[in-house]
Amino acid sequence: MMATMRKPIVGFDFDGVVAYNPARLARYPISFFKQNILGIKKVSFFVPKNSVERAFWSLAHESSMFPAYGASRLRNLVKDSRIEAHLVTSRFGFLEPNLQRFLKFWGFTDTFTSVTLNRNEEQPHEFKERIIRAKKLDYFVEDNWDIVSYLATKKLSTEIHWIYNVFDRNKPYQHKYPYLEKSLLRITKT
């Protein structure tokens, strides 16, 4: 009997992977400051707690408004049954309307088998590890180096793809890609 090739189950981060956010590079100096000036090495992320912090957080995410280079290939791969796609975003639950607006506006409502937000406000790296395991993903595509490097230590059977930016492009990593399109080409080996 010939083994039938199972289509890969692929998880995608949203901000910086499926959606291109021109403002995302602004986060880099903050991370640099924390790590190199304040000497904070432990991975931890800001969690907005009160309504004012949440309003600013929402506003900051409204700028993630363009599909990334490769997003239309992603949609077509799903249409052609070549991959099964899951969206896994550490965006908090209150950002869901904003996310749904994006998916509807750009025509991605039928693309993802599941959309998982960080509803319990877990630390993003721990949240993603938990979902990657639960969904038994073959691949996960992520742009945040702190999250990628954390996941890389976890001996997951998932291949973690890193979408790098101009600032940390020189970091050595086996599965690094400049944008989503290149990661998808690797996954489908085309």
**94 vs 164, which CB is nearer to Mg ion?**
164
CB 80 within 8 A of CB 7: no
Query: Which of 143, 151, 180, 184: binder of Mg ion (CB under 5 A)?
Result: 143
Helical (H) or strand (E) element with 190: none
Q: Which stretch binds Mg ion (CB under 5 A): 95-103, 114-122, 136-144, 175-183?
A: 136-144
Q: How far is the CB of 98 from Mg ion (least distance, A)?
A: 15
13 sits near Mg ion (criterion: CB under 5 A): yes
Residue 77 vs 87, nearer CB to Mg ion: 87
Q: Is 84 an interacting residue with respect to Mg ion (CB under 5 A)?
A: no
**Residue number, 82 or 106, with CB nearest to Mg ion:** 106
**Geometric angle at alpha carbon 63, from 179 and 118, rounded to 5°:** 80
Please enumerate in sequence order all residues whose Cβ is within 8 A of that of 137, keeping only pairs 6 or more positions apart, or say none. Answer: 9, 10, 11, 86, 158
129 binds Mg ion (CB under 5 A): no
Task: Please report where in the chains the tokens 């009997």 appear, as a residue.
Answer: 1
Is residue 116 a contact residue for Mg ion (CB under 5 A)?
Answer: no
The whole-angstrom separation of Cα 61 and Cα 178 is 22
- Per rule CB under 5 A, is residue 16 in the interface with Mg ion? yes
Measured CA to CA in angstroms, residue 104 lies from 60, 97, 98, 126, 171 at distances of 20, 10, 10, 28, 35
Q: Which stretch binds Mg ion (CB under 5 A): 5-13, 33-41, 114-122, 167-175?
A: 5-13
Q: Which of 10, 11, 12, 15 binds Mg ion (CB under 5 A)?
A: 15
CA distance 141 to 138: 10
Listed ranges 15-23, 46-54, 59-67, 96-104: which one lies at the site for Mg ion (CB under 5 A): 15-23
Long-range contacts of 153-160 (CB under 8 A, 24+ apart): 154/129, 156/129, 156/132, 158/11, 158/132
Minimum separation from the CB atom of position 122 to Mg ion (A): 15
Which listed range, 30-38, 109-117, 139-147, 157-165, lies at the site for Mg ion (CB under 5 A)?
Answer: 139-147
Q: By the criterion CB under 5 A, which residues form the site for Mg ion?
A: 13, 15-16, 143-144
